[in-house]
Amino acid sequence: MANRLLQERALDADQGAKLGKRPTRSVTVNGTESPLGWLLAHGYVSQRQFHAGEQLRADWEHAQLSPSVTMRWDAAPVARGRGGPAVSLTPTERHLRAKERFDDAISAAGPGLSDILWRVVCAGEGMRDAETALGWPARAGKLVLTMALDRVADYYRLR
């Protein structure tokens, strides 16, 4: 049987944060389905590096930096009343903050390291495909990726 790394991931995390509650729905996912999860399952990256990559990927997704091929079906914004409680960040503000965190984390990785980091963590390319696309020799990507993940972990202040 193949290695599996089962993880609970919260759904509706933004809604739960707005209400000051924990999300009520979650889903179990196999972390080894991503290239970074595979590297963790096979001992090529540490837990700290894995969490740094997952945080970077989450910021990339929340910033909505991936290509969009269809129209947006987000719910229309709800009008705010004058006497109600202060609402947390708007979707646009959350989007901009995630983009700032993503850009800062990529900058913290540095030029030359950010290429492999983006390809493997955000774009989901396998290590061999990323190395080939960058014109690198085989197995060089793992070393460079771990250095980039260490820098990103430092940026996110992960222990």
Enter the tokens of residue 40: 């963790």
Distance from C-alpha of 89 to C-alpha of 159, rounded to nearest angstrom: 27
- The backbone region for 81, taken as left when phi is positive above 0, alpha when psi lies in -120 to 50, beta otherwise, is beta
Q: What is the pLDDT of residue 72?
A: 61
Q: What is the pLDDT of residues 41-59, one digit of tens each?
A: 889 999 999 999 999 999 9
Distance from C-alpha of 37 to C-alpha of 39, rounded to nearest angstrom: 5
Kindly report whether the global pTM for this prediction surpasses the value 0.85.
no
